[in-house]
Amino acid sequence: MDDITRVCRKCGQEKPLEEFVKDKTRELGYSYTCKHCRREHACKYRADNHEKVLERTRKWRVDNPEKVREYDRKYRADNHEKILEYGRKHYAENSERYKKYSRKWQAANPEKVRETRRYKREILSDGYLRRQLKQRNLPVTPETIDYKRIQLKLYREIKKQQNDERD
């Protein structure tokens, strides 16, 4: 089959059958235009009919939520690092916008903010400990975070024993 060729009706070049898309309705079982020409045509169509293509894509996504979910899940699993890097880059480029949104949300939800901070303080989350170190102008490294966590646990234990002795 390697020696069988076909002339593309679009570009006029003679190419091996592997350069053509399979099409059972054609005499050799392959389309009349090569993959390269079909790709060029598809790109031009998408550029010329951008809104039409977007609308068709939106409709398909609404009509096929299970397929979309499965595709998205697989993509996230296969491109985890790429997605993380994109998120970091996007946040760095738009940090002011994110901070503005965050301040606005926090002003509108003070009770949720208090509850979240209380919880993070209680479990000594890394974010809480980083904030503590920054406030004291100390270096923020994994080691200093661990030391700060141990220090606060000991401080809490001493405080608890002192309260128990008073009672």
Tokens representing residue 73 in the block: 């899940």
Q: Which amino acid is at 144?
A: T
Q: What is the pLDDT of residues 69-123, one digit of tens each?
A: 999 999 999 999 999 999 999 999 999 999 999 999 999 999 999 999 999 999 9
8 A C-beta contact, residue 4 and residue 16: yes
| Calculated CA dihedral for residues 134, 137, 140, 143, nearest 10 degrees | -120
Would the pLDDT of 1 be above 70?
no
pLDDT-derived band at 2, boundaries 50, 70, 90: low
* pTM for this prediction: 0.49
User: What pLDDT score does 105 carry?
Assistant: 97
Q: DSSP secondary-structure letter at 34?
A: E
Answer left, alpha or beta for residue 105, where phi above 0 means left and psi between -120 and 50 means alpha.
alpha
pLDDT for residue 119: 94
Structure tokens at 30: 């392959």
Determine the average pLDDT of the residues in 62-69.
97
Distance of CA 19 to the CA centre of its chain: 34
- What is the domain class of 1-63 according to CATH? alpha beta
pLDDT, tens digit, 9 for 90 and up, residues 7-49: 999 999 999 989 999 999 988 899 999 999 999 999 999 999 9
Spatial distance between the Cα atoms of 17 and 6, rounded to a whole number of angstroms? 6
The average pLDDT across 132-153 equals 94
> What is the pLDDT confidence band of residue 166, given thresholds at 50, 70 and 90?
confident
The number of helices, as runs of H, and strands, as runs of E, in the chain is: 8, 4
Q: What separation in angstroms does the CA of 31 have from each of 8, 9, 45, 85, 128?
A: 9, 10, 19, 40, 62
- Domain boundaries in the chain? 1-63, 124-166
What's residue 27's pLDDT?
A: 84
